[in-house]
Structure 1
Amino acid sequence: YLFYRTLELIDLGGIVDIIDNYDRPGSASTDATYAEAGTYAYAFEDKAGKRIPKAGVKAEAGVGRARAEWSVFEAEAKGPNASAGVHADASGVGAMARAEIASASASAGPLGVKVGLGVDTGVDLSGGSAEVKVLGCGVSVGRKMGISLFGSELSFKLW
C-alpha cells in the first residue's frame, strides 16, 4: 500500500493509471441493449487494472453502446442510458448517479473529453481531486482539473 500511495503522491500526468493499464490488451465491443450490475474488489494482482487496491458497486442500463480500449487509450459512445455507482480505492471514495440522452468520450493518458447531454449528480473525493456535479454541471479541482456542463466535459490530470 505504501508503495502505491507514494506513487500517487508523485504522480506525473496520471502515471498511476499508466502503471495500472500500460499492458492492457486492445479490445472493442458493441451492445444494442445492455443491463449490468455487480460488485468488484481487486488488490495487488499482477494483471492490467488489478494492481491498485479498489472495490465498488455499479449498476447501469442503456440502449446502444460501442467501446474500444488499448493500453492507456479509451473511446466510448452511448445512446440513452442510466447508471449509479459507489467506489473506494487506495486514493479515496466516490458516489455518482447518471442519466444521459447520448454521449461520446475519449481519453489518452491525462486528457479526457466527453460530449453529450446528461445529468450526472454526485461527489468523488479521490486521487488528490474533488469532483462535484449536480444535474450535469460541476467542476473537478486538484490533481484532475475539469469542468462539466449538462453532460459534456473536459478534464486534464495535472500531476
Structure 2
Amino acid sequence: MSDRPGKASATGRYADAGTYADSDDESLVGAYAGAGLGRAGAEWSIFEAEAKAPNASAGAGASLESLSAKAFARAELGSASASAGPLKAKVGLSVDTGASISPTQIEAKVLGTGVSIGRTMGISLFCTGFEFKLW
C-alpha cells in the first residue's frame, strides 16, 4: 500500500509548452505543447481520478540509450479517468493519434482507437478504454 498523501487540484483555462532532456539519460529529449479549457484531479494512496474539459496537445520524444521513440497528437472533447494501482479506466471522446516503441512496449492509436502491448497492456476505442500495468 502506498503512503502517498491525498491532494486535489483544479485549473481553468491553461496552456503549456516546452522541451525536456533527462539529466540522467542525456539521450532522452523531447518537446510538447497543450492547451485546454479546464481540468481537475485528485490522488490519495494508490488511487487517482482526473477529469478534463475540451483540450488539445501534441508531443514527440526519443532516447538513443533506451532505443525508444514516441509521437502523438490529441484533441479531446472531454474525459474522465480513474486508477487504482496498476488498473486504469478512462471514458471520453477524443481523436488521439500517435505511436510509441521501446524494447518493452509498443503502442499505436489512430483517431482514439488502438492497443498497447508490453509493460502496459491496454485497448481503447475513441478514448474509452482500460489499461493494466504488468510491472
Q: Which residue of 2 aligns with 1:104?
A: 80
Q: Does 1:61 align with 2:41?
A: no
1:75 and 1:101 map into 2 onto residues whose CA distance is: 18
TM-score, normalised to structure 2, is 0.81
Q: Which residue of 2 aligns with 1:93?
A: 69
Name the one with the larger strand percent.
2
Cα 1:151–1:70 change in 2 (3 A) is same
Cα 1:69–1:93 change in 2 (3 A) is farther
Name the one with the larger helix percent.
1
5+ unaligned residues in a row in structure 2: which ranges?
none
The offset of 1:41, in angstroms, is: 2.5
TM-score, normalised to structure 1, is 0.70
Q: Kindly report which structure 2 residues correspond to 1:1-159, keeping only aligned pairs within 5 A, or say none.
A: 26-44=6-24, 54-70=28-44, 73-88=47-62, 90=66, 92-126=68-102, 128-159=104-135
**CA shift digits 1:44-101 (9 cap, x unpaired):** 4xxxxxx9x9543111111121022456543211010100111335472211110011
Cα 1:86–1:70 change in 2 (3 A) is farther
SS in 1 for 2:38: strand
1:87 and 1:74 map into 2 onto residues whose CA distance is: 25
1:62 and 1:76 map into 2 onto residues whose CA distance is: 14
Contact 1:26 1:69 in 2 (8 A): yes
2:5 and 2:28 map into 1 onto residues whose CA distance is: 20
Contact 1:127 1:143 in 2 (8 A): no
The offset of 1:158, in angstroms, is: 2.1
1:96 and 1:23 map into 2 onto residues whose CA distance is: 33
**Amino acid in the other structure paired with 1:34:** Y
**Amino acid in the other structure paired with 2:57:** S
